[in-house]
Amino acid sequence: MIRSVALVLVFGMACSRSGSGTSEFTTQQMWAIGNMQRPKQQGNTVVFQNDRGVARVAFVNENVVRVRYLPNGEKEHLRSFAVVDQKNAPVSPRVTTGSSSTEIQSSALRVIVHHEPFRVEFFDHKGRSLDTDDPSRGVFHVGHQSKVWKRLLPDEHIYGFGEKSGPLDKRGMQLGGASYTMWNSDTPGYDGSTDPLYISVPFFMVMREGRSHGIFLDNTYRTHFDIGKEQPDLLSMSIGGGELDYYFIQGPEPKKVTERYTELTGRMQLPPMWALGFHQCRYSYYPEAKLRAIADNFRKRNIPADTLWLDIHYLQDYKPFTWDTKRFPDPAKLIADLRKQNFRVVSIIDAHPKKEVGYHVYDQGIAGGHFVTNKDGSIYEAPVWPSMAENSPADSVFPDFSSSKTRDWWGSLYKPLLDIGIAGIWNDMNEPAVFNTATGTFALDVQHKNDGRPTDHREIHNVYGMLMTQATHSGLKQLRPEMRPLVLSRASFAGGQRYAAVWPGDNQSSWNALRQSIPMHMGLGLSGFAFVGSDVGGFMGAPTSELFTRWLQSAVFSPFFRAHTTFGTPDQEPWSYGKDHEALNRAAIEMRYRFLPHIYNEMRLASQTGIPALRPLFMEFPLDEQSWRNSELSMFGDSLLLAPVLWPGVNTREVYLPEGTWFDLQSTTTYEGAQTHTLQVTLKSIPIFVREGAFIFTKDQVQFSDALADKALRVDIFPANDSSKEYYEDDALSMAYKAGDYLLRRFSQHRDKEHIDIKIEKIEGEFQPKTRQLILQIHGLQGSPKTVQINGKILDKKNGKSFSVESNGTLTLPLKDSLESKEIKIQL
Ligand code: MIG
């Protein structure tokens, strides 16, 4: 009994803030999962039962095991918002039941389930224990909450949980552990200790001695994770309602864990190239003359950019799907004119239509029964932006995105915006956020229709934003099926990567926030959200010129690259900080544009595999201890190590390079790895290192992404005995790639003392790039080669036209690009 009192207190931690309405549970009975009878096998599932509930263990595939526990009286988890239909049929595990335990086994994993009491333990195929329920605690249930305690080993590192602040390794500080809550929250100006934030991803990765597995808790209620805080050797997960339903995902490579997690929950869609360019935003650019001036400035000053953003002041009284026609008298003409300057425009659409008879969204929503309701069936109303409007302020009503009918309706509302050429949609306030309440969100008893399984806000809250992006995404796809949509969202949930890119909300204009953005992007990436990027320069407050420049430089390889600031702050455009900084800022954005082919290639890989382009060091170097806790270095793809300068006023930057030979991206100077180097840096420095054997794909400078197509493709090839890289391209805009209109080629090299052999082979696709050059830049030669052959034909060195060698050992070889395979043999 003493013990259950202690456990009650522990459960209490699960409802840290903003009133989850769970205070009643302390008076209710708490029980342990208890002993189970011998299981029954039902198809692929092993079912354990006792008088308190039912537990089920099933193999989803060789590497993924699903464990469920449904206490009596709780709602069974019949439909997942996160998990997508799996391509492969579940595997049939080998099941052996003994008197005290049951063994369930695939080729990669072995699960032992102890019957008395019920405990689950996971082993790899070599018999190493990967994860186990805590023997004395296991699973408990009280009120609507369930909780499982697992072992936490001293040398385990914990990563993920999506959008969380703090260091990359979520164990927290050396002592004291850490805990995280999943409850989407509007948290303007958050810092390194704020939790929860806007997005909930109840997924984490465990890494020990370089080997990893993952756990995904598929539950949309408020959930809570404790990593060694309650007790240093325990990791616990608790849920605020419903079924305890989690997936154990085997690696052992960290990349495999994310690949398998995203096989389960889906992957980002391939974005159009322009979405990877530079975006300029502020809250808000208005009237239209202001937006035009911003566009003119970019072009006049030769600072590359693709997209301008319209924040809430373009709307009439903050009403979604309207225009303030005083500020923007002719939106169609504005968008068309900007398009002539090669800009695209993204506009914001919030989740809160105004309650106003005569406003088409309100009228249609009422007629169609699209708004969420109170327990008594009346429509739920609450103040958000329309309550702050100068004219006739009023409360808002809220679409019930849990209903597919409502999602279809909402998706169709974008038509007028797309008709005038709006290129993408930005969904905000979809945690959902409401003003003037203690919790900052809906009342928990707000009712959702949920496609025939009515439920309340406790279950839908965390997926509300994701379901909104699903509505937006499919609306855009239906209205403009030939084009790839861009949707950006503030709130989301596990699996939301299928519908939208995300940004981590209202950060501060501070050096701390800049440093924080790096582990945050990596944490989101390894949790499936590969298309991420923070407000460059910071949202709240005003950056110094130095901070703005460093932020821009640090984001050159950020998947989503957008400058943004809040209402009333000083100008925050690349030219807002004087001539010197304008030049520095231009240089950073120019670099982004030269590397767009490389970035696009890596983002396409992310869309195929789920492995994020921007990734922690340990994903590439899992056996390197130095990588395990590193929050400030990251990799872009498998071959660029990013070491941005993150401190003011410094002239050195320490960079740890993992084992191998590295090259400075700009100078191609060589650095030996497995050590820390101290670099001299100036305000110009954007320290990036290239891994040996890398193929880096760039193009000449352009001012906007549409201009890339006919530019020469430059491939920098860095020395290694053997290496290869696939390179992907397509029209960068449309859905034609889905029908095979793309080109995938393999670049490979083999080097020995006497030769460098380079091959370019077509793998798939018939996409014909525009007529252009292919310029190979082969690094690491010592002196001029004896001969260079292409497809067996020796090139004439004497006239100097066919290739050149610089004193730094770079051989430049311009070719005509074509679909045909090429073999280049260099005799040294
Ligand atoms: O309550 O639309 O995070 O990016 O500029 C503030 C105005 C509402 C919050 C977003 C921010 C956006 C702002 N929005």
Mean pLDDT, the chain cut into blocks of 10 residues (828 residues total): 42 41 54 95 94 96 97 95 91 94 97 97 97 97 95 97 96 80 98 95 98 98 96 96 98 98 98 98 98 98 99 98 98 98 98 98 98 98 97 97 98 98 98 95 98 97 98 98 98 98 98 98 98 98 98 98 98 98 98 98 98 98 97 98 98 98 94 98 98 98 97 97 98 97 97 97 92 95 94 77 89 92 96
* Phi, psi for 703 (deg, rounded to 5): -100, -15
**188: CA distance to ligand 1 center in Å?**
9
**744: CA distance to ligand 1 center in Å?**
40
Q: Are strands 501-502 and 486-489 parallel, antiparallel or unpaired?
A: parallel
Ligand 1 pocket: which of 185, 198, 283, 426 to mutate (most atoms within 8 A of CB): 283
DSSP 113-170: EETTTTEEEEEETT--EEEEB-TTT-EEEETTEEEEEEE--TTEEEEE-SS--S-SST
**428: CA distance to ligand 1 center in Å?**
7
Ligand 1 pocket: which of 190, 198, 506 to mutate (most atoms within 8 A of CB): 506
In ligand 1, which atom is closest to the CA atom of 188? 3
In ligand 1, which atom is closest to the CA atom of 350? 2
Closest CA to 28 of 54, 52, 4: 4
**311: CA distance to ligand 1 center in Å?**
8
Ligand 1 pocket: which of 566, 567, 569 to mutate (most atoms within 8 A of CB): 566
**558: CA distance to ligand 1 center in Å?**
21
What is residue 802's predicted lDDT score, i.e. its pLDDT? 84
Map 497-526 to HEC letters.
Answer: HHCCEECCCCCECCHHHHHHHHHHHHHHHH
pTM (two decimals): 0.96
**16: CA distance to ligand 1 center in Å?**
25
Question: CB atoms < 10 A from the CB of 208, how many?
Answer: 17
What is the rounded CA–CA span in Å between residue 690 and residue 668? Answer: 8
In ligand 1, which atom is closest to the CA atom of 348? 2
**504: CA distance to ligand 1 center in Å?**
11
Residue numbers annotated as active site: 428, 431, 506
Task: List the residue whose alpha carbon is closest to atom 8 of ligand 1.
Answer: 429
**284: CA distance to ligand 1 center in Å?**
9
In ligand 1, which atom is closest to the CA atom of 539? 4
What is residue 11's predicted lDDT score, i.e. its pLDDT? 53
Task: List the residue whose alpha carbon is closest to atom 5 of ligand 1.
Answer: 283
Q: Which residues line ligand 1 (CB under 6 A)?
A: 283, 311-312, 348, 428-429, 490, 505-506, 564
What is residue 19's predicted lDDT score, i.e. its pLDDT? 38
In ligand 1, which atom is closest to the CA atom of 284? 5
Residues 6+ apart with CB under 8 A from 743: 728, 729, 730, 762, 764, 765, 766, 767, 768, 769, 819
Q: Are strands 670-672 and 661-664 parallel, antiparallel or unpaired?
A: antiparallel
Contact of 57 with 69, CB cutoff 8 Å: no
